[in-house]
């Protein structure tokens, strides 16, 4: 089941992982790309050569949340920030989108 998320363009909700997404080195990711092009997350530390595709990482996080808390994850479409807030304190991305470490909220 792959339902793509639809977010209002050019609002902070377009990048729900801002504030949660960190590079493995500790650098915070920021939003990248413009509303009429591909959404991406980028860290400025230089660990990665290319930005992360926003849809790819958000799908990965959403899938992880669905495993951890299926009922809560069902609210992702309505309010991804609430889901993130209740589950995770930070999400660290290594070399690839598949290499993600979820730090649970204490």
Q: Which of residues 22-51 bind Zn ion (CB under 5 A)?
A: 23, 25, 27, 45, 47
Q: Which is nearer to Zn ion, 46 or 70 (CB)?
A: 46
Token pair of 91, please? 């999400």
Q: Closest approach of Cβ 52 to Zn ion, in Å?
A: 12
Q: Closest approach of Cβ 51 to Zn ion, in Å?
A: 13
User: Does position 55 bind Zn ion by CB under 5 A?
Assistant: no
Cα 13 from Cα 71, distance rounded (Å): 21
Q: Closest approach of Cβ 104 to Zn ion, in Å?
A: 22
For the chain, where are the alpha helices, taking DSSP H only? 54-68, 70-73, 80-87
Instruction: Give me the residue label for tokens 């993600």.
Output: 100
Contact by Cβ (8 Å): 65, 43: no
Where along the sequence are the contacts to Zn ion (CB under 5 A)? Answer: 23, 25, 27, 45, 47
């Amino acid at each position: 089941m792959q339902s793509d998320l639809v977010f209002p363009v050019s609002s902070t909700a377009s990048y729900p992982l801002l504030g949660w997404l960190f590079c493995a080195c500790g650098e915070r990711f920021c939003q990248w790309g413009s509303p009429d092009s591909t959404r991406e997350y980028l860290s400025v530390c230089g660990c990665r050569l290319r930005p992360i595709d926003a849809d790819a990482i958000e799908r990965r996080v959403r899938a992880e949340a669905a495993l951890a808390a299926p009922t809560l994850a069902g609210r992702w479409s309505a309010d991804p920030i609430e889901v993130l807030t209740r589950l995770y304190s930070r999400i660290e991305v290594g070399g690839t989108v598949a290499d993600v470490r979820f730090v649970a909220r204490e």
